[in-house]
Amino acid sequence: MEWRHETLPYWISDQKDLLDVDAVYGLLQTTYWAKHRTRDIIEKSLENSLCFGVYGEEGQVGFMRVVTDYATFSWVCDVIIHPDHRRQGLAKWMLKFLLSHEAVRDTSMILATRDAHSLYEPFGFKREELMRRKKSIG
C-alpha cells in the first residue's frame, strides 16, 4: 500500500523491500528507546513487524513499526522522522495512514512514549497504566 502526500513531496509505503535499513538503523540510533539496539536486532525486528517508511526526494526520511496479530492487537513503535524533515506534520500523516491501513485499522493499538503524548492523543490514544517485564542483561 502506498500513499502520496497531497501538498508535500513525500510518500509512505508498507513495502518492506523499499526500506533503507541503513537509514532506519541511523534514525533509531538517535533515539532514547532504541539507541542500544544492534543492527542485527533491528533487522530481525523489521522482518517480524509491519513496517512503514516515509520517503522524500532524498530517500527514506521516516519510519514506523507495528507489532501485531492482525486481528485484535497492534503495538505501535519506533515512530521517527529525520530531524531535517520534522515540523511538517509527517509523523501525524504517518499515523493517519496507519489508522486507515486495512491490515490493522480494526485492532486495538497501544504504544509507549516519554515525550510525544501530544502527537498521539489527537488520534484517540489515552494515557493508561502499563506493566512491563524487561529482559535481564548479563
| Domain CATH code at residue 27 | 3.40.630.30
Which cell goes with 79? 515512530
- Please give the tally of structural domains in the chain: 1
- In a domain? residue 79: yes
CA 42-33-57 angle, 5° bins? 60
Counting other chains too, the contacts that 1-6 makes at CB distance below 8 Å and 24 or more residues apart are: 1/101, 1/102, 3/97, 5/93
* Cα-trace Rg, the chain: 15
- In a domain? residue 138: no
% of the chain beyond a pLDDT of 90: 78
Answer whether 0.85 is exceeded by the pTM.
Answer: yes
Torsion of CA 106, 110, 111, 112, to 10 degrees: 170
- In a domain? residue 7: yes
d(CA 110, CA 98): 13
- In a domain? residue 27: yes
- In a domain? residue 128: no
Q: Tens digit of pLDDT for each residue in 61-115?
A: 999 999 999 999 999 999 999 999 999 999 999 999 999 999 999 999 999 888 8
- In a domain? residue 35: yes
Instruction: Quote the domain boundaries for residue 19.
Output: 2-123
